[in-house]
Amino acid sequence: MRFAGKEIVLKDGRTCILKPNSPEYAEEMIEYLKVTSAETEYLLRYPDEVNFTLEKEREILQGLSDNPYAIMMVAIVDGKVAGNGSINGIGDKRKIRHRASLAIALYKEYWGLGIGRAMIDYMTELAGQIGWKQVDLEVVAENERAKILYEKCGFVESGRRHNALVFDDGTYHDEILMYKDLR
């Protein structure tokens, strides 16, 4: 989806641009996926599970950019990718096509500067404009920072998926389900 870029001022005074992700960031996105999945346990992938070729990543980003129902937002600070977020429909069937799902991750060096808040607010605003009625998400139960942020952005806890994830160290972790009603 194409949408207008937005400039925000971060808590450290720097400027951040929120704009549609696009194939020009394919190389940076592969690096981003590898590094962010190593910096936190709270993302679904492990770094060795990031196996996209540059060509495939370009294709994915082009597809998302051309899709009027897909939001893929990149945050740029000092000309570099600081983070990425998305809201995508969960399925085409009539009974579920009112719902979309949110994901977001920033490089650790950009945590706590206000980027997450600004991205989620902007992405949910765009989701409402597209016509989604509800945005869902799942968050690892121990991910306090993300849960606080989601609550501040108007998301409400609606359940818990028991033992949803198993980490490489063998420990099991629940996911908290959250949603935001856009109607």
Ligand X SMILES: CC(C)(COP(=O)(O)OP(=O)(O)OC[C@H]1O[C@@H](n2cnc3c(N)ncnc32)[C@H](O)[C@@H]1OP(=O)(O)O)[C@@H](O)C(=O)NCCC(=O)NCCS
- Interface contacts to ligand X, rule CB under 6 A: 40, 42-43, 104-106, 111-117, 139, 143, 145-146, 148-149, 152
- Tell me the closest approach of the beta carbon of residue 5 to ligand X, in angstroms: 18
- Tell me the closest approach of the beta carbon of residue 78 to ligand X, in angstroms: 16
Q: Closer to ligand X by CB, 1 or 113: give it.
A: 113
Pairing relationship of beta strands 156-166 and 6-9 according to DSSP bridges: unpaired
Burial (CB count <10 Å: 0-12, 13-18, 19+), residue 137? buried
CB hemisphere CA count around 29 (13 angstroms):
26
Q: Closer to ligand X by CB, 61 or 75: give it.
A: 75
Of residues 145, 143, 154, 153, the one with CA closest to residue 176: 143
Q: Closer to ligand X by CB, 115 or 182: give it.
A: 115
- Tell me the closest approach of the beta carbon of residue 143 to ligand X, in angstroms: 5
